[in-house]
Amino acid sequence: MTATTDTTATASPAGAVIKLIDVSKTYRSGSLEVAALRGVSVSIAAGEYVAITGPSGSGKSTLMHIIGCLDVPTTGSYRLAGQDVSQMSEAELAEVRNRRIGFVFQQFNLLPSMSAWRNVELPLAYAGVPRAHRRDAAMEALERVGLGDRVEHRPGELSGGQQQRVAVARALVGDPALILADEPTGNLDTASTRDALRLFGELHDAGRTVVLITHEADVAAATKRTIRIRDGAVYDDTATRPPPSRPVATMDSIVARHVSGAG
């Protein structure tokens, strides 16, 4: 019998767009060691909408930095779209960070002296996209987040919710397949939180993989799968609610189907 591959919920041949196996991360400063992650194994398929949740200090940001190729594991392996990240060159990593992943942070991380559209075009500038195209793409991204009438405003002239929408526009301007957001609603009021979650829902509906890091249960509830971590280890991984038409494929479920021959 030939091996079957699940083509309904996964894009990469390896099945998972994000695959961490037994990842640990230890920070060292002088003689002090902090084990921020201890043996984390997680697989996320293309197109999933996932929350990673846990208390402060549990290792969420460390995990996001590794998933986003901003940092590397101390031990264990990480494959992104089938590629071993530890084998990628600096140029490949830069390309991944600038074009394939869109980042959103709690503190928005916008440059205060630049207009909204200048902030949004930055990842494209780093990626070497021609100037004329950058402006058009930035305008389009700002339209998509409902800020078409604020493109010349600087961050200080926008509300917190609007600043986070600029940050979301910056995350999606390069049309990345993966959106990684670390506590994106942590500094937002209830109404702006709802707006931001609606945007992430739309990005997921458009086929992107969206990973939200949060310690807020109601934010996690907006996603379709919640991975819970505590003391640097995963202790629960649950479908938040049944997805409408297709099953959420985890590596385990794919392997289980192959082993059982049910394809």
Ligand X SMILES: Nc1ncnc2c1ncn2[C@@H]1O[C@H](COP(=O)(O)OP(=O)(O)O)[C@@H](O)[C@H]1O
CA distance 163 to 67: 24
- Distance, CA of 240 to CA of 63 (rounded, Å): 20
Residue 58, contacted partner among ligand X, Mg ion, none, CB below 5-8 A by kind: ligand X
Name the residue nearer to ligand X (CB basis): 24 or 41: 24
Residues 43-62 that bind Mg ion (CB under 5 A): 60-61
Nearer to ligand X, 59 or 123 (CB): 59
Q: Count of residues binding Mg ion (CB under 5 A)?
A: 2
Which residue in the set 4, 8, 57, 159 belongs to the binding site for ligand X (CB under 6 A)? 57
Tell me the HSE value of 216 on the side-chain side, using a 13 A CA sphere: 18
The Cα 135–Cα 184 span in angstroms is: 25
HSE-up (13 A, CA, CB side) for residue 90: 0
Closest CA to 220 of 58, 53, 18: 53
Choose the stretch contacting ligand X; rule: CB under 6 A; options: 60-68, 109-117, 128-136, 242-250. Answer: 60-68
State the binding partner of 126 from Mg ion, ligand X, none, CB within 5 to 8 A by kind. none
- Looking at residue 22, its amino acid is D
Burial string for 205-243 (b: 16+ CB within 10 Å, else e) reads eeebbbbbbbeeeebbebbbbbbbbeebbbeebeebeee
Measured from the CB atom, the residue of 155 and 232 that comes closer to ligand X is 232
Site string for ligand X, 16-55 (x = CB under 6 A): -----------x-x----x-x-----------------x-
- Is the CB of 61 or the CB of 223 nearer to Mg ion? 61
Cβ closest to Mg ion, residue 61 vs residue 250: 61
Shortest Å distance, C-beta 183 to ligand X: 8
Per DSSP, the three-state class of 101 is: strand
The contact mask relative to Mg ion for 8-47 (x = CB under 5 A, - = no) is ----------------------------------------
Strand order in the sheet with 75-80: 32-44, 18-29, 75-80, 83-84
Strand 233-239 with 75-80, pairing: unpaired
Q: Which does 34 bind (CB under 5 to 8 A by kind): Mg ion, ligand X, none?
A: ligand X
Three-class SS state of 36: strand
- Binding residues for Mg ion restricted to 129-158, rule: CB under 5 A: none
Binding site for ligand X (CB under 6 A): 27, 29, 34, 36, 54, 56-62
> Which chain residues interact with Mg ion by CB under 5 A?
60-61
